[in-house]
C-alpha cells in the first residue's frame, strides 16, 4: 500500500485504428488516433514495489518491471495505482497506455528537471510492448499513446503529415522497419463511437490466421495491397477534413478485412446496428472480437444502437492529447 503524499501522476490515451490493421504487418500504411479514454498511474513512496496492492511481479507486470529496471533501478520502492476508462484487451491500446503513462511518471521521478522526451519514451514503450508480446509489436500503439493526435505508420516516408522517426524491431520473423508520422486533425463536430463486443480474440492468433491464409494462397496479397490503397484514400480524406469520404473508406476497409476472415458475428452485429446513423463503420484492431468503430455526427444515436445490439459503447473525438504529467 502506498503511504504519504502522491509523488507523481501521469496519464496516457488509448488508441483506435482507423485504417490499415493487418495490412500494416506487410508494409502497407495504417492510421491510428488517440482516443479520449485514458489510463492514469499514480506513484507514491512505499515499503516495497506494488501495483494496485499486489507485489510487482515480472510475469504479471512485464511492462512496468522493464521500465522500473531502466529508470528507477536503485530508487526507493513505490506503490503504483492504475485507473482509467480504456477497456483492457479489446484492441484499444490499454497496454501501450500503461507503458507510456508509467514511463512518463518514472522518467519524471528519475529526471525531474527534464520534460517528457516523446521520441525516447515512445521507443521504450514500443520495446516494453514487444517484450510483453513475445517480440512482435508494431510501434502503432506506443507512438499513438505517447504522441497523441493522429499517427500514420508506413514502410517508407509519406508526404502526408510530419515525419517523426524510424522504428526498428528484430522480430522472430526478421528485422522490421516503420516510418512514424503525425497529423493534427481538424476540430470538427465529428465523433468516433467505439463498440466493444466483449469477446477477447488474441492479436497473435488473428495475425497468424492472416499469415496462414497468405501462405496458402499468395495471390491474396492483392487484398493486403487493396487495404493499403484504401488506407491512403482515407488518410487523404482525413487531411482534407472530408469526413464523408473518410467514412466511405472505412466501409471499404471493413469489407476487405471481412473478406480476409478477421471479422466475427459479434462485430458484424454491432457494425450493422451502427451503420444507419454513421458515415462509416469498421472493425478496429486485430478483429475476431474486440471493438468496432463508427464515424458519426450523432454519437448519442449511434451509441444507443450499439448498446441495443448488445455492445458497450464509448464516445471519443478524433485525436486527443498524448501522454502528460498530471502532477
Which residue has the CB atom at the shortest distance from ligand PMV? 285
Q: How many other β-carbons are positioned within 10 Å of the β-carbon of residue 1?
A: 10
| Chain centroid offset of residue 6 CA | 28
Identify which of residues 108 and 282 has a Cβ nearer to ligand PMV in the complex: 282
Q: Which is nearer to ligand PMV, 93 or 280 (CB)?
A: 93
Contacting positions for ligand PMV (CB under 6 A): 21-22, 24-25, 91, 93, 138, 140-141, 203, 207, 285-286, 290
Distance in Å, CB of 219 to ligand PMV, minimum: 21
Q: Which residue, 68 or 254, is less far from ligand PMV as judged by CB?
A: 254
Q: Which is nearer to ligand PMV, 24 or 193 (CB)?
A: 24
Q: How far is the CB of 43 from ligand PMV (least distance, A)?
A: 26
* Shortest Å distance, C-beta 302 to ligand PMV: 21
CB of 136 to ligand PMV, least distance (A): 7
Question: Which residue number, 42 or 138, has a Cβ lying nearer to ligand PMV?
Answer: 138
Choice between 114 and 205, CB closer to ligand PMV:
205
Q: At what angle do helices 265-274 and 299-308 cross, to 10 degrees?
A: 140
Rounded-to-integer distance, Cα 303 and Cα 309, Å: 10
With respect to ligand PMV, which residue has the nearer C-beta, 45 or 202?
202
- Answer whether 178's CB lies under 8 Å from 144's CB: no
**Residue in this structure with the C-alpha cell 509489436, named with its chain if needed:** 137
Q: How far is the CB of 87 from ligand PMV (least distance, A)?
A: 12
Whether residue 287 contacts residue 254, with contact meaning beta carbons closer than 8 Å, is answered with: no
- Smallest distance, ligand PMV to C-beta of residue 295, A: 18
Shortest separation between residue 83's beta carbon and ligand PMV, angstroms: 21
Residue 27 neighbours by CB under 8 Å, 6+ apart: 154, 155, 228
User: Closest approach of Cβ 22 to ligand PMV, in Å?
Assistant: 5
Considering only CA atoms, which of 39, 37, 47 is closest in space to residue 4? 47
Cell digits of residue 178: 516503420
Amino acid at each position: 500500500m502506498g503511504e504519504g503524499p502522491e509523488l507523481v501522476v501521469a496519464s496516457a490515451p488509448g488508441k483506435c485504428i482507423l485504417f490499415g490493421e493487418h495490412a500494416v504487418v506487410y508494409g502497407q500504411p495504417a492510421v491510428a488516433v488517440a482516443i479520449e479514454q485514458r489510463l492514469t498511474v499514480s506513484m507514491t513512496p512505499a515499503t516495497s514495489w506494488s501495483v494496485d496492492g499486489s507485489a510487482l511481479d515480472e510475469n504479471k507486470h512485464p511492462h512496468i518491471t522493464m521500465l522500473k529496471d531502466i529508470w528507477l533501478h536503485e530508487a526507493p520502492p513505490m506503490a503504483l495505482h492504475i485507473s482509467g476508462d480504456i477497456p483492457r484487451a479489446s484492441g484499444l491500446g490499454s497496454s501501450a497506455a500503461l507503458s507510456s503513462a508509467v514511463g512518463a511518471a518514472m522518467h519524471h521521478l528519475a529526471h525531474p528537471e527534464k520534460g517528457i522526451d516523446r521520441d525516447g519514451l515512445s521507443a521504450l514503450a514500443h520495446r516494453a510492448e514487444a517484450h510483453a508480446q513475445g517480440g512482435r509489436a508494431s510501434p502503432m500503439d506506443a507512438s499513438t499513446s505517447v504522441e497523441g493526435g493522429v499517427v500514420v505508420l508506413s514502410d517508407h516516408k509519406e508526404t502526408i503529415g510530419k515525419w517523426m522517426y524510424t522504428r526498428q524491431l528484430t522480430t522472430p520473423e526478421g528485422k522490421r522497419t516503420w516510418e512514424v508520422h503525425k497529423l493534427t486533425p481538424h476540430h470538427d463536430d465529428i465523433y468516433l463511437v467505439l463498440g466493444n463486443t466483449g469477446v477477447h480474440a488474441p492479436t497473435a492468433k488473428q495475425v497468424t490466421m492472416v499469415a496462414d491464409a497468405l501462405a496458402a494462397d499468395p495471390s491474396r496479397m492483392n487484398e493486403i495491397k487493396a487495404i493499403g490503397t484504401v488506407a491512403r484514400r482515407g488518410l487523404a480524406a482525413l487531411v482534407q477534413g472530408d469526413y464523408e469520404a473518410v467514412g466511405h473508406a472505412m466501409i471499404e476497409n471493413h469489407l476487405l478485412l471481412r473478406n480476409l476472415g478477421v471479422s466475427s458475428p459479434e462485430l458484424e452485429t454491432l457494425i450493422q446496428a451502427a451503420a444507419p446513423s454513421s458515415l462509416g463503420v469498421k472493425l478496429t484492431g486485430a478483429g475476431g472480437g474486440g471493438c468496432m468503430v463508427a464515424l458519426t455526427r450523432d454519437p448519442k444515436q449511434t451509441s444507443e444502437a450499439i448498446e441495443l445490439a448488445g455492445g458497450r459503447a464509448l464516445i471519443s473525438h478524433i485525436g486527443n492529447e498524448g501522454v502528460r504529467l498530471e502532477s
